[in-house]
Structure 1
Amino acid sequence: MAQFDGRMAIVTGGAGGIGSATCRQLAARGAAVAVFDRDEAGARNVADAIRAEGGRAAAFLCDITDRPGVDAAVAAAEAALGPAAILVNNAGFDIFKPFLKTTPAEWEKLIAVNLVGVLHMHHAVLPGMVERKYGRVVNIASDAARVGSTGEAVYAACKAGLLGLTKTLAREHARDAITFNVVCPGPTDTNLFEEFWRGAANPDKLMEAFRRSIPLGRIGAPDDLPGAICFFASDDAAYVTGQVISVSGGLSMAG
């Protein structure tokens, strides 16, 4: 499949589970992939693996909370791989605590990564897409944004903010032929979920509860997400914008 030939895709949090799976799938479908992450060594490992398979990729150190750093990383990626046609905002961070046990300092960190960082990425990448009259933006939120999640109040609020941001930008830039859509993972076997699981009072009981509550009988794997992400990034979705889809094994069935 070569549906992304000639297109450059930026993926934030590209060294992580969902991010790396998405980078590999975009590259397998022909995209030149810019792997953005604070973990520069991890990003390089992903880019190296893609190139070893015959794909095009390069790694870029990027802390999305640092706007000058974002601007520099986007400029470097476009100089190396071409203008950005696809942006996947995947980087995220969570602290698993009941709201009344969280602190304002923790709120600031959560908001900086999960909301302000995504604003930085949009603000840095969108002008070029507007100029070229083409773009696909896929924001990775969470089912916590759609149905809530105990112990994730501020994270859920940030991810809900992404839904409003996505729908608004979809309206503002529809005439620029730029689409904006959201993928909401359910519980997925990533490092973030492992932190949540290990912090539980009874991790085995929690995992069994997830398995029982998810109709498909298991938590998600990182490789379950790129199909939906690549659909929104493709021209098959050229007439789809401002939409939200859950990839959760049926745990949430929001209309």
Structure 2
Amino acid sequence: MPRFEANPARRPALVAGASSGIGAATAVALAEQGWPVALGARRVEVCEALAEKIRADGGEAFAYRLDVADGDSIDDFVAASEKALGPAEIVVSGAGDLEFGRVWEVDPETFLHQVQVHLVGAQRLAYRVLPGMIERRRGDFIVIGSDCADRPRPGMGAYNAAKTGLEALAEQLRMELEGTGVRASVVRPGQTQTAMGMSADPDVVGPLLEDWARWGFARHPYFLRASDIAAAVVAVAATPRGAHLVLVEAQPEAPLRESDTAPPREPDTGTEEGSR
């Protein structure tokens, strides 16, 4: 006899930060599992266009404006999404933003906003959705962390601090939720091609990349794609009850060498841009 009742076949999923990059890829990947998806981001028109594509491909999708730095916006998004799709079974906290800079050079309000988006936004989502999950005695609350939480990089402004705090928050949640039937998990990307940080001044990014290489953060030029992280999110959510993927870290596989002495091949950068 199974120790846990299986998850229902229909699992509505809420994705914060679904307008581009990892969030958009995750919404598509979850919909491909046959699960309804609610897409939330400030650029709601982009979310709606993606939702239309998901529906055209036979999936079920709903788009609604979401600003995770605004508690009222989160309340409205969750209420509208659950009215449209049903109670949330999966929540992916993936809203992100990035401003490069040295800690002492970043404007404190910019620093605070980064923390609000990455860390406080996730707590606001948890505050809004976890009581219902606990009442139903099942659910997956998944945060998109970063290997910066484990290995901070210079020049990342508030990103290192915010992601470190976010992963600590998820670990705390996991302990607090033990025995409720609700799983809190971290999907931790390594270097990933997204649009985040693409507005940065090249004069800032150039020295930053040199610092990364100096500190050993650039072993090879390959990047993950957003779809790779989406696949990791699906793996976490699709794990049958009774097992819990607590932390899944994805790193880009190194380019193949021609031989032990030959240099790596030039990377295939694909069509996505930027890095996460």
Per the TM alignment, residue 236 of structure 1 is displaced from its structure 2 partner at its CA by 3.3
Structure 1 equivalent of residue 85 of structure 2: 81
Per the TM alignment, residue 193 of structure 1 is displaced from its structure 2 partner at its CA by 4.3
Q: Secondary structure at the match of 1:55?
A: coil
What is the CA deviation profile of residues 184-232 of structure 1, one whole-angstrom value per residue up to 9, with x for unaligned ones?
11221111143458454549x86xx69x9345x5111111111111111
Structure 2 residue corresponding to 1:47, chosen from 30, 51, 54: 51
- 8 Å contact 2:55–2:61 — kept in the other structure? yes
- 8 Å contact 1:4–1:31 — kept in the other structure? no
1:102-141 aligned within 5 A: 102-141=106-145
1:198-217 aligned within 5 A: 198=202, 200=204, 202=206, 213-214=218-219, 217=221
Identity %: 32
Structure 2 residue corresponding to 1:240, chosen from 241, 244, 254: 244
List alignment gaps of at least 5 residues for structure 2. 1-6, 255-276
Q: Distance in 2 between matches of 1:148 and 1:195?
A: 21
Structure 2 equivalent of residue 169 of structure 1: 173
Q: Secondary structure at the match of 1:84?
A: coil
Structure 2 equivalent of residue 27 of structure 1: 31
Structure 2 equivalent of residue 97 of structure 1: 101
1:212-231 aligned within 5 A: 213-214=218-219, 217-231=221-235
One-letter amino acid of the structure 2 residue matched with residue 248 of structure 1? Q
Q: Distance in 1 between matches of 2:77 and 2:145?
A: 22
TM-score for the superposition, normalised by structure 2 = 0.82
Q: Distance in 1 between matches of 2:147 and 2:253?
A: 11
Q: CA RMSD in A?
A: 2.4
Q: Distance in 2 between matches of 1:213 and 1:104?
A: 29
Bigger helix share:
1
- 8 Å contact 2:22–2:229 — kept in the other structure? yes
The count of residues paired between Structure 1 and Structure 2 equals 244
Q: Secondary structure at the match of 2:158?
A: helix
List alignment gaps of at least 5 residues for structure 1. none
What is the CA deviation profile of residues 22-41 of structure 1, one whole-angstrom value per residue up to 9, with x for unaligned ones?
10010000110000111111
TM-score for the superposition, normalised by structure 1 = 0.88
- Shift of the 10–238 alpha-carbon distance from structure 1 to 2, 3 Å rule, reads farther
- 8 Å contact 1:8–1:85 — kept in the other structure? yes
- Shift of the 94–202 alpha-carbon distance from structure 1 to 2, 3 Å rule, reads closer
- Shift of the 151–213 alpha-carbon distance from structure 1 to 2, 3 Å rule, reads closer
- Shift of the 15–199 alpha-carbon distance from structure 1 to 2, 3 Å rule, reads farther
Q: Distance in 2 between matches of 1:4 and 1:29?
A: 13
Structure 2 equivalent of residue 58 of structure 1: 62
- Shift of the 245–137 alpha-carbon distance from structure 1 to 2, 3 Å rule, reads same
Structure 2 equivalent of residue 194 of structure 1: 198
Larger Rg: 2
Structure 1 equivalent of residue 252 of structure 2: 249
Q: Distance in 2 between matches of 1:153 and 1:15?
A: 23
| 151-160 or 12-21, larger mean C-alpha shift | 151-160
- 8 Å contact 1:60–1:73 — kept in the other structure? yes
- Shift of the 132–123 alpha-carbon distance from structure 1 to 2, 3 Å rule, reads same
